[in-house]
Amino acid sequence: MEELIRLLIEPLVTDIKTVKIEKVNLDGNVHFTVSVPKADIAKVIGKEGKMVKAIKNLTKIRAIKENVYCSLEIVEA
C-alpha cells in the first residue's frame, strides 16, 4: 500500500526525497500520513481537491482488496 501511495505522489513533487510517508496500523485499520513540501502541496491536492480525492479512492480500492480499512492524510512539511 505504501508503494502505491509513493508511486502516485512522486510525479507531483519536485524533490522526491522530501516526501515522508508514516504508517499507523491499528486492528486492520491503516492510517497513512504523507508529508509533502509546502511548495508542492497545491499540486498534490489539485483543483478543488480532485487529485487528492483520486489518490484516496485508489488507496481505498487497494485496501478493499487487502481486507483492511485505509485512510490517508496529506500534511505540509
Q: What is the CATH number of the domain that holds 13?
A: 3.30.300.20
Share of the chain above pLDDT 70, in %: 100
In tens, the pLDDT along 32-53 reads 999 999 999 999 999 999 999 9
* Residue 28's pLDDT band (cuts 50, 70, 90): confident
Angle between helices 50-65 and 2-9 (to 10 degrees): 160
* Residue 6's pLDDT band (cuts 50, 70, 90): very high
pLDDT at position 42 is: 94
Question: Residue 69 to residues 4, 48, 64, 73, 77: CA-CA distances in angstroms?
Answer: 15, 25, 7, 14, 25
Domain count, the chain: 1
